[in-house]
Structure 1
C-alpha cells in the first residue's frame, strides 16, 4: 500500500507522518517535492539553501521514487505531500497508484500558526486553492485534523478501515525528538512536534487574527468548506 497524504502547512501533517512512521510496516517520506518546488520557483523560504543542498531537486527523479519500490524493505509507504508543491510542470501520474488522502484544518488556525513562523504569507503559501484543485483532479478521502485531535484512536481506526489497513496502536504514540525521516527543514518548523509523544488534545476556540489575516481567511474558507463537506 502507498499512501499520499496531502495537506497544507501547520496542519497536523508531521504528527500524522510520525504516527504512520511509528508502525513497523511503514516507510515514510517527508515532503519529497519541497526541494524541487523551491528550485523551480526560486521562492525564498526558511532554510532554502540547506534544503536545496540536502534533498533531490529533480521532480522527475522524485516522482520515479514515489512510483518505485517501497523503501527499506517495508510493506507500506506513507508519503507526506503538500499540494502547493505540485506546480503544473511536475509529474503527477504516480499518484494514481496511491491511496490519496487530503488532511484539512480550519484556515484560521493555519494562518495563525504559519504567521508565527513566517511573517510574509500569501494564500498560495498555505495551499487551500491548490488543495481543492488537486482534490478535483485526483479525488480521494478527506480527514479533518480537528477530528483527529479530538479523538485520535477513533479517527485513525476509521481512516484505517476506509483504506483497508489494520489499525496499529503504535500510531497513537511515538518517541519525543527528531526522526531520521525528517526533512532538513525540521530544524525550523518541527519544534512542537519534536516535543510531543502523541497527538495533542482537542483544540480550543479559533484564534483572533489581524485584519490582513482576516482577509486571507475569507479567501481560504470556501476551499476548506468544500473539502470539509466530504470528510470522514
Structure 2
C-alpha cells in the first residue's frame, strides 16, 4: 500500500528521468510476473501486484461478474473502489520508487462510453477520448511512466484457459475469453500515445525470454532504472507477495531467473491442474480457444508493431 498523500513527498518526483511510479500494463499469461521478480529483488522499489484487479473483480464498482454479489460483498476488497486503488498506485512512496504490474483490462469497462469514470471519481473531469475508468488528470500524472508487455495469443490463451476450470486452485472455475485483455491493452496504449505524443515502451514476452539481458537493459533505460545483471536472477522466497492470486504464479515464484524453468511452455499451467485436466502437448486446441486466439491476433499484431526491437 502506498503512503497517504500527506506523507508522499518524494525526491523521486524531482527527476523526470527517474519517474516515481513505473506501471507495466499486461494481459493474462504474458510473463509479466518475471518483471515483478526483477523489481522485487532490487530493494529500492515498492512493488505492487495487480491492485486494480481487486476493484475490477470484487469491489462495489466491480466491472466483471465472475464472482457472485454475495462473494464480493463479503470480500475484504468490497470497499476498495477505483479511486482508492489508483491512489495506492499513483501516490509516490515516501522513500522508494513504485513498480506496479497490472492488467490493462482492469481499468476499462468496454460497455461504457469513452470518457466515463468510475463512480468513486464522480465530479472529477476527464477527457472524452479516455477509455479508462481513471480520470485523465490522474492517469497521466507526470511522475508516472506507462509501459506494456505482450505475448502471442497462441501462447497466452491456452495458458490462461488451463488455469480456469471447476475446482482450480486459482478460484477461476471457467474460461472467459473476454478476460484476455488484448483489445483493452491496445485502447489504453493508443490513448496514452495520442494524449502524450509519445508511444509507451512495449516489450514482447518472446523477445524477453530469448534475449533477457538486452531487453531488460533497454526497459530499464526507458524507465530510468539502473540496470545490473543481478536483476535477471532471484530466489524463490517471494510467495507472500503473490498470495492473493493463488495458483497463477507458481512457475515464476519457483524459478531462479528470466526464462528459467519455462522458456517455451507453461509448466505451472499443467502442474496447477489435476491429472484429468492436464492437456497433452499434441492435443488440438478447442474451437473456443482457436476462436479466442484469432479474435486477439489483430490487436496483438498492432501492439507488436510498436514493440521494442531489442
For 1:161-217, what per-residue CA distance to the aligned partner results, in whole angstroms no more than 9, with x for missing partners? Answer: 2233221323111111434432511x221111121111125427x985222211111
For 1:106-137, what per-residue CA distance to the aligned partner results, in whole angstroms no more than 9, with x for missing partners? Answer: 00111110011014333321101111111111
The structure-2 alpha-carbon separation of the partners of 1:195 and 1:116, relative to structure 1 and needing over 3 Å to count, comes to same
Greater Rg by CA: 2
1:52: Cα distance to partner? Answer: 3.3
TM-score (normalizing by structure 2)? 0.67
Q: Structure 1 residue aligned with 2:225, among 139, 149, 165?
A: 165
Would you say the 8 A contact 1:7–1:104 is kept in 2? Answer: yes
1:214 aligns with 290
2:22 aligns with 3
Mean CA deviation greater in 97-106 or 195-204: 195-204
1:133 aligns with 187
1:96 aligns with 140
1:190 aligns with 249
The structure-2 alpha-carbon separation of the partners of 1:191 and 1:56, relative to structure 1 and needing over 3 Å to count, comes to farther
1:112 aligns with 158
For 1:10-63, what per-residue CA distance to the aligned partner results, in whole angstroms no more than 9, with x for missing partners? Answer: 111111111112112211100011111012135225xx7699326862111111
Q: Structure 2 residue aligned with 1:53, among 62, 76, 81?
A: 76
Matches within 5 A, 1:5-20: 5-20=24-39
The structure-2 alpha-carbon separation of the partners of 1:51 and 1:225, relative to structure 1 and needing over 3 Å to count, comes to farther
Moved over 4 A (4+): 48-51
- Count of matched residue pairs: 227
Q: Distance in 2 between matches of 1:4 and 1:51?
A: 29
Would you say the 8 A contact 2:163–2:248 is kept in 1? Answer: yes
Q: Distance in 2 between matches of 1:42 and 1:230?
A: 29
Q: Distance in 1 between matches of 2:38 and 2:54?
A: 24
Q: Distance in 1 between matches of 2:85 and 2:79?
A: 7
The structure-2 alpha-carbon separation of the partners of 1:213 and 1:147, relative to structure 1 and needing over 3 Å to count, comes to same
Gaps of 5+ in 1: none
2:307 aligns with 231
2:100 aligns with 79
TM-score (normalizing by structure 1)? 0.87
The structure-2 alpha-carbon separation of the partners of 1:112 and 1:51, relative to structure 1 and needing over 3 Å to count, comes to farther
Would you say the 8 A contact 2:55–2:77 is kept in 1? Answer: no
Q: Distance in 2 between matches of 1:52 and 1:112?
A: 29
Which one has a larger percent helix, Structure 1 or Structure 2?
Answer: 1
Q: How large is the RMSD of aligned CA atoms in angstroms?
A: 2.5
Q: Distance in 2 between matches of 1:191 and 1:172?
A: 18
Q: Distance in 1 between matches of 2:254 and 2:78?
A: 25
Q: Structure 2 residue aligned with 1:200, among 253, 256, 259?
A: 259
Higher relative contact order (CA 8 A, sep 6+): 1
Mean CA deviation greater in 84-93 or 145-154: 84-93
Q: Which SS does the other structure have where 1:198 is aligned?
A: coil
